[in-house]
């Protein structure tokens, strides 16, 4: 269908002709909401509200905006809708659960569905047969999973008599959500500069090096030695002060940065040598993004804790989970039987509706083979994305599984502006991409077909040419 131009005039499409935004019976929501009250996260609110982009419905690979335009989802929402949009099975499971029991606390009581979901996740948990991370702590988001994992690590060290180990180490250009723990180990200056940090945190250097590793297919050859930064921090602070190191196996939000060959193995070995726990933040890489259930499976490196969220429930209901090794879990269970072992948890930990969504999501992943579909499509995806090589301003292309990062040279006067223009241009043409600085990130739902990959590449290529 011909695409209407949008964005001329303040929210014109929204206010003008959007009779079908809210079709919920018995709700009296107006179809012309004011844009004033909602304080949007990670958004230039004033810029956005001047020219809003509003999505109204979603099915399969597509969103539909309030003007009725279809938009191909090249990003699985925010890296989360791995099984595609509008999965009836998930909606039905949630509705069934909400009408059976909407909510029940998980403090000093429980409900079967949370145990059921934890058991099913445990069966598929990352790690080898001897090192399964199958003790599961439920949270409400990726940020909560990260803060939970950091706290478990510190509590574990104390439980084994290493109470001086309270320091947590992150990495430059890491994104671990927005809790105080997450921003402290995170490596994004804009998220950190205004706020006080957790005391004692420190960072490895990032591994991004487009000068040495540009346009590489597969993992970058250079940079494994950067894992030795952990040795440097041990020498600086003393191993006896360090509880854990956390990294994203593939850094997603900061531009799809792949680990150099051997890097994760080296980090594991150094952490082991010094009694430091290794945490993989798999909020993005978990649940099939790389073509394996987890990055742990993809790389064959097993950490002590894994944080997840997003694909856990296909993005349908907010939920996160921390996968813990048994030895960490068991060490914390050794105290007096009548005492709470870990003073930590959330009102919504193991929320029944979220567990219902998660169980239905797992079933879909398994029945449709989605956790390995990325591996099947990866060669096609890689070739398609690398075909953009040679277009103006592209200085690097990286892919792994069903993820891609396309890095542009920055305009000196306006870093990020070039990618943002491409983002808005693609949106107008019916393609949703994500940009971070001058890096374009793609991560389509794992149900994507080859034809849709071709569309993503041709629309994006056209925009890159046009904006140059
Ligand atoms: N960790 C990683 C690796 C992420 O990519 C994100 C979100 O993008 C988070 C943590 C935070 O998750 P949430 O936004 O659900 O709090």
What was the pLDDT predicted at 7? 36
According to the model, what pLDDT value does residue 130 have?
80
Through-space distance between the first and last CA atoms of the chain, rounded to whole angstroms: 27
Percent of the chain with pLDDT over 90: 90
Q: What is the ipTM of this complex?
A: 0.99
CA distance 146 to 293: 19
Whether the per-residue pLDDT at 23 is higher than 60: the answer is: no
Pair 50, 437: CB distance under 8 Å: no
Q: Which neighbouring-strand residues pair with 71? A: 63
| DSSP-assigned letter for residue 224 | G
**How much of the chain exceeds pLDDT 70, in percent?**
93
Model confidence at 31, pLDDT cuts 50, 70, 90, reads low
Lowest mean pLDDT across 6-10, 77-81, 295-299: 6-10
Average pLDDT, stretch 426-440?
97
Please indicate whether residue 171, judged by its CB atom, sits closer than 6 Å to ligand 1: no
63 CB within 6 A, ligand 1: no
pLDDT in tens, 358-382: 999 999 999 999 999 999 999 999 9
Ligand 1 lined by 252 (C-beta under 6 Å): yes
Q: How confident is the model at residue 27 (pLDDT cuts 50, 70, 90)?
A: very low
The response to whether residue 230 sits with its C-beta less than 6 Å from ligand 1 reads no
Q: Is the pLDDT score of 10 beyond 60?
A: no
Tell me the best of 251, 284, 405 to mutate to test the pocket of ligand 1, counting ligand atoms within 8 Å of each CB and taking the most.
Answer: 284
Mean pLDDT of the chain: 93
Given the CA of residue 182, which atom of ligand 1 is nearest to it?
A: 10
| Probe residue for ligand 1, chosen from 40, 139, 251, 253 as the CB with the greatest number of ligand atoms within 8 Å | 253
Looking at residue 410, what DSSP letter applies? Answer: P
Instruction: Find out whether the beta carbon of 141 lies less than 6 Å from any atom of ligand 1.
Output: yes
Counting from 1 in the atom list of ligand 1, the atom nearest the Cα of 320 is: 15
Query: Considering only CA atoms, which of 143, 187, 148, 449 is closest in space to residue 310?
Result: 143
Residue 4 has pLDDT above 60, yes or no: no
Please, which residues bridge with residue 139 across strands? 320
Ligand 1 within 6 A of CB of 284: yes
Q: In ligand 1, which atom is closest to the CA atom of 253?
A: 5
* Token couple for 358: 């998660």
Looking at per-residue confidence, does 329 or 468 come out higher?
329
Mean pLDDT of 269-293: 98
Ramachandran angles phi, psi of 247, nearest 5°: -140, 155
Instruction: Evaluate: CB of 253 within 6 angstroms of ligand 1.
Output: yes
Sheet with strand 394-400: strands edge to edge: 394-400, 403-408, 439-442, 434-436
Number of Cβ atoms within 10 Å of the Cβ of 329: 19
pLDDT of 17 > 70? The answer is no
Is the CB of residue 175 below 6 angstroms from any atom belonging to ligand 1? yes
Confidence label for 30 from pLDDT (cuts 50, 70 and 90): low
Decide if pLDDT at 337 tops 50: yes
- Inform me whether the pLDDT recorded for 181 exceeds 90: yes
Q: Report the alpha-carbon distance of residue 91 to residue 70 in Å, rounded.
A: 22
- By DSSP bridging, strand 167-171 and strand 202-204 are parallel
Q: Is the dihedral of CA 167, 171, 175, 178 positive or negative?
A: positive
Question: pLDDT tens-digit profile of 396-428?
Answer: 999 999 999 999 999 999 999 999 999 999 999
Q: From CA 274, how far away is CA 234, in angstroms rounded?
A: 8
**Residue 415: CB partners within 8 Å, gap ≥ 6?**
437, 438
Q: Is 313 in the pocket of ligand 1 (CB under 6 A)?
A: no
233: Cα separation from own chain's centroid = 27
Of 322, 320, 215, 233, nearest to 270 by C-alpha is 233
C-alpha of residue 332 to centroid of ligand 1, in Å:
26
Indicate if ligand 1 lies below 6 Å from the C-beta of 147.
no
Which atom of ligand 1 is nearest to 251's Cα?
3
Closest alpha carbon to 239 in 273, 268, 278 = 273
Radius of gyration of the chain (CA): 22
CA gap 231, 312 in Å, rounded: 34
Q: Name the phi and psi angles at 414, rounded to 5.
A: -150, 80
């Amino acid at each position: 269908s011909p695409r209407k131009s949008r964005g001329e005039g303040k929210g014109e499409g929204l206010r003008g002709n959007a009779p079908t935004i809210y079709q919920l019976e018995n709700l009296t929501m107006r179809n012309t909401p004011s844009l004033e009250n909602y304080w949007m996260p990670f958004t230039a609110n004033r810029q956005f509200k001047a020219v809003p982009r509003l999505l109204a419905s979603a099915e399969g690979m597509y969103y539909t905006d309030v003007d009725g335009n279809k938009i191909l989802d090249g990003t699985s929402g925010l890296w989360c809708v791995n099984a595609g949009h509008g999965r009836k099975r998930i909606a039905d499971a949630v509705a069934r659960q909400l009408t059976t029991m909407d909510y029940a606390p998980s403090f000093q009581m429980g409900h079967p569905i949370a145990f059921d979901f934890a058991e099913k996740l445990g069966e598929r948990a990352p790690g080898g047969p001897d090192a399964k991370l199958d003790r599961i702590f439920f949270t409400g988001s990726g940020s909560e999973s990260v803060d939970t994992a950091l706290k478990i690590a510190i509590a574990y060290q104390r439980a084994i008599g290493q109470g001086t180990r309270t320091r947590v180490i992150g990495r430059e250009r890491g994104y671990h959500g927005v809790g105080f723990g997450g921003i402290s180990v995170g490596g994004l200056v804009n998220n950190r500069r205004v706020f006080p940090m957790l005391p004692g945190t420190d960072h490895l250097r990032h591994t991004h090096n487009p000068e040495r590793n540009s346009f590489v297919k597969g993992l970058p050859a250079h940079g494994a030695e950067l894992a030795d930064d952990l040795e440097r921090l041990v020498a600086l602070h003393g191993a006896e002060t360090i509880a854990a190191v956390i990294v994203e196996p593939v850094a997603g939000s900061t531009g799809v940065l792949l680990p150099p060959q051997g890097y994760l193995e080296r980090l594991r070995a150094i952490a082991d040598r010094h009694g430091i726990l290794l945490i993989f933040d798999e909020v993005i890489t978990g649940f099939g993004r790389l073509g394996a259930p987890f990055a742990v499976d993809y790389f064959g490196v097993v950490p002590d804790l894994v944080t997840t969220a997003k694909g856990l429930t296909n993005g349908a209901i907010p939920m996160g989970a921390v996968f813990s090794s048994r030895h960490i879990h068991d060490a914390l269970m050794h105290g007096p039987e009548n005492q709470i072992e870990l003073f930590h948890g959330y009102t919504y930990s193991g929320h029944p509706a979220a567990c219902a969504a998660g169980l239905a999501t797992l079933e879909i992943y398994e029945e449709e083979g989605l956790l390995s579909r990325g591996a099947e499509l990866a060669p096609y995806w890689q070739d398609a994305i690398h075909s953009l090589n040679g277009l103006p301003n592209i200085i690097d292309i990286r892919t792994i599984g069903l993820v891609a990062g396309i890095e542009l040279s920055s305009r000196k006067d306006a870093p990020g502006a070039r990618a943002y223009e491409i983002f808005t241009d693609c949106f107008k043409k019916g393609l949703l991409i994500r940009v971070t600085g001058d890096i374009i990130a793609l991560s389509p739902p794992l149900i994507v077909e080859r034809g849709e990959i071709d569309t993503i590449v041709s629309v994006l290529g056209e925009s890159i040419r046009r904006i140059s």
